[in-house]
Amino acid sequence: MIYIPTSVTFESADYTVKGIVYSAFQGCENLQSAALPETLVNISGNAFMNCKRLKEVKFSQSLATIGDSIFMGCESLQSAFLYGSAIAIHRYYACMERI
């Protein structure tokens, strides 16, 4: 499991984690699950693309935008829990017809 913290410290300054950048975990074949922080509002395209062993992702309630193809090639994905009412999901966001 990967745990993404709510904040990080860089050069003595604290930053709130609000997004996952384009292709952040693309190709991480051993990644099986992800816990996303409540501070997260944006997941850019291809974020989890080709994470072949990814089975479960729990999105934060504050998530507002999901980019293109975030689950493309995630052959083992069994569940993706979406919360909230203001989620904008971009075209080709996932191959989730199996779920």
Summarize pLDDT for 15-38 with one digit per residue, the tens.
Answer: 999 999 999 999 998 999 998 899
Contact 20, 45 (CB under 8 A): no
59 Cβ partners below 8 Å, 6+ apart?
36, 40, 43, 66, 80, 81, 82, 83
Q: Give backbone dihedrals phi and psi of 14, rounded to 5 degrees, phi first.
A: -95, 135
Summarize pLDDT for 85-97 with one digit per residue, the tens.
Answer: 545 555 444 444 4
- Does the pTM surpass 0.75? The reply is yes
Summarize pLDDT for 46-87 with one digit per residue, the tens.
Answer: 999 999 999 988 888 888 888 888 888 988 988 777 766 545
